[in-house]
Amino acid sequence: MQFRCPYCKAEIGPVALAKCPKCGHVMAVAKKKADPKDRKAKRKLIESIRSDAERKKLEIAGRAPVIPHGPKFYLVIVVLFSALLFVAINYSTNPRLEDGWRTGTIADINLLAEALGRFHFHTGVYPTTEQGLEALTWIETGKIPGYNGPYLMNRQVPKDKWKHPYRYTGPGDDPTDPIPTLVSAGPDGKFDTDDDIYPLPDCFFRAGQDTSWTNEWVPYDKRGITILTKEQKAAVEAADARRKKRAAEEAAAAKAAAAAEKAGDKGTDVKTEETK
Per-residue pLDDT tens over the stretch 238-259: 888 888 888 889 889 888 888 8
Residues 110 and 197 in one domain: yes
Residues 100 and 218 in one domain: yes
Residues 271 and 170 in one domain: no
Range with lowest mean pLDDT among 135-144, 162-171, 174-183? 174-183
Residues 111 and 208 in one domain: yes
Tell me how far CA of residue 137 lies from CA of 115, 123, 149, 150, 191, in angstroms: 10, 15, 7, 5, 24
- How open is the CA angle 113-115-117, to the nearest 5 degrees? 70
Specify burial of residue 50 (Cβ count, 10 A radius: 0-12, 13-18, 19+).
exposed
23-27 long-range contacts, Cβ below 8 Å, gap at least 24? none
Range with lowest mean pLDDT among 16-25, 106-115, 154-163, 172-181? 172-181
- Residue 41, domain member (yes or no): no
Residues 215 and 248 in one domain: no
Short-list 275, 119, 146, 135, CA closest to 203: 119
Residue 134 clears pLDDT 80, i.e. is over it: yes
3-state secondary structure of 182: strand
With a CB cutoff of 8 Å and minimum separation 6, the contacts of 51 are 68
The predicted model gives 96-123 an average pLDDT of 86
- Residue 40, domain member (yes or no): no
User: 119, 127 in Cβ contact below 8 A?
Assistant: yes
- Residue 11, domain member (yes or no): no
Number of domains, the chain: 2
- Residue 21, domain member (yes or no): no
Write the CATH number for 183: 3.30.700.10
Residues 219 and 266 in one domain: no
Tell me how far CA of residue 87 lies from CA of 82, 90, 96, in angstroms: 9, 5, 14
Residue 232 clears pLDDT 80, i.e. is over it: no
The predicted model gives 23-47 an average pLDDT of 76
The predicted model gives 233-237 an average pLDDT of 77
pTM over 0.85: no
- Residue 195, domain member (yes or no): yes
Per-residue pLDDT tens over the stretch 150-171: 888 878 899 998 899 999 998 8
